[in-house]
Amino acid sequence: MTPKKSETLEIRLSHAAKTAFMERCRAAGVTASEALRAHIEGQPRKTRRAPAIIAALIGLAIGAVAAPSLAAAAGKVSSDRAAFAKLDANRDGVVSFEEFRAR
């Protein structure tokens, strides 16, 4: 039996970053909750766009490189990928908690 989802997580971010993240989730066909939950629980990606979503989350979480690019046009995906690649030390396409922590 799956435990009931009763806990919440509140984060503060700019309107532009939230709007960009929500658009990326829509484009990937997942809700914001699904994207965050999958990342936190370390579940496999649901779509090919998931690395961009994870990169966006990491950038927002550490307030670093990815956050400014989220508000930019879709042509800025390469800077998101660069930020993700910087965190993905073992190049497996997933940023583990250990890789995130080592930033």
Task: Please report the pLDDT score of residue 50 as a whole number.
Answer: 60
Instruction: Give residue 69's pLDDT band: very low, low, confident or very high (50, 70, 90).
Output: low
Task: Tell me the average pLDDT across 89-100.
Answer: 85
Query: 30, 54 in Cβ contact below 8 A?
Result: no
Predicted local distance difference test score (pLDDT) of residue 66: 44
Give the tens place of pLDDT for each residue, 14-67.
888 888 888 888 888 888 888 888 888 887 655 555 666 676 676 666 654 444
- What integer pLDDT is reported at residue 67 of this predicted model? 46
pTM above 0.85, yes or no: no
Per-residue pLDDT at 3 exceeds 60: yes
Please state, in angstroms and as integers, the Cα–Cα distance from residue 42 to each residue in 16, 73, 95, following that order. 26, 28, 9
Nearest Cα neighbor of 16 from 61, 79, 60 is 60
Calpha distance 93→103 (Å, rounded): 16
The pLDDT-based confidence of 6 (bands split at 50, 70, 90) is confident
Of the listed ranges 15-19, 24-28, 69-73, 85-89, the least confidently predicted one is 69-73
